Amino acid sequence: MLYGLMAYFDSPEKLLKALRALKGAGYRRLEALTPNPVDGIEEVLGGDGRIPWIAFLLGVLGAGLGLFLQVYTTLDYPHNAGGKPLLGWPAFIPVTFELTILTITVGIFLVLLYLNGLPLADHPAVRAKEYVRVLLDEYGVFVFASDPRFDPERTRAELLALGAEVEEVRRD
């Protein structure tokens, strides 16, 4: 069964050009695979601006939890420490701060995994024989065979015209 076509480009500029052309031609189910972040990819594939907002909300949650924990436990077990006021808020700053950071850190890491669909057991593109090239120094586009516009011959011709080396990815 044909999974799709893997196209290798030797520069990020070619990759961006190819992605634009493919999107323009109506392809929807394709992925760009690159060894490092490519500048300008958001304009083509769409960016994800959610991360900072999620982090902010996690921070608010963490700060709330940190303060609540200290206020609640202090009221639950009132203890006169060196004549300080019972709810002496300046003393609560360090713990609130650390718990805020801890909540954001752990939370945003899990959110990243969730948004990226990781951990991922298998991906058709990884079956490409030359797949390691896109982790090394080349820029790949994987066009899924399930794309409505996909046609083995025509898609291959289009990719070749964009200056790619093309490999078919099949299940053996």
Partner 1 sequence: MAKEPHPDRDLIQGEWTEKSLVEKLLEPVEKPTPRPWRVVLAVGAALTLAWLYALFVTLTRGLGTWGINQPVAWGFDIVHFVWWIGIGHAGTLISAILVLMRQNWRDSLNRVTEAMTLFAVLAAATYPLIHMGRPQLFYWVMPYPTHMALWPQYKSPLSWDVLAIMTYLTISTLFLYLGLIPDLALLRERSQGWRRKLYGWLSLGWTGNAVHWQRYRAVYVLLAGLATPVVISVHSVVSMDFAYGIVPGWHLTVFPPFFAAGAIYSGFAMALTLIIPLRRWYRLEGVITERHLDWMAKVTLASGLGVAYIYLLEIFIAWYSAEPAEWAQQLWRMTGPYAPYYWAMMLINVVLLQTLWFPRFRHNLTWLFVFSILANVGMWLERFVIVVISLSRDFLPGNAQLYFPTWVDWTLFLGTLGFFLFGLALFIRIFPPIAVAEMVHLFHKLRH
Binding mask 73-112 for partner 1 (x = CB under 8 A): xx-xx-x-xx-x---x--xx-xx-xxx-xx-xxx-xx--x
On the CB side of 105, CA atoms within 13 Å amount to 6
One-letter identity of residue 97: F
Where helices occur in 116-151 by DSSP H, the ranges are 133-136
Binding mask 121-160 for partner 1 (x = CB under 8 A): xxx-xx----xx-xxxx--x--------------------
What distance in Å separates the CA atoms of residue 66 and residue 89, rounded to the nearest whole number? 12
How many residues of this chain bind partner 1 (CB under 8 A)? Answer: 63
Instruction: Return the C-alpha torsion angle 33, 37, 39, 45, nearest 10.
Output: 40
What distance in Å separates the CA atoms of residue 136 and residue 21, rounded to the nearest whole number? 24
List of residues contacting partner 1 (CB under 8 A): 11-12, 31-38, 41-42, 45-48, 51-52, 55, 69-70, 73-74, 76-77, 79, 81-82, 84, 88, 91-92, 94-95, 97-99, 101-102, 104-106, 108-109, 112-113, 115-116, 118-123, 125-126, 131-132, 134-137, 140
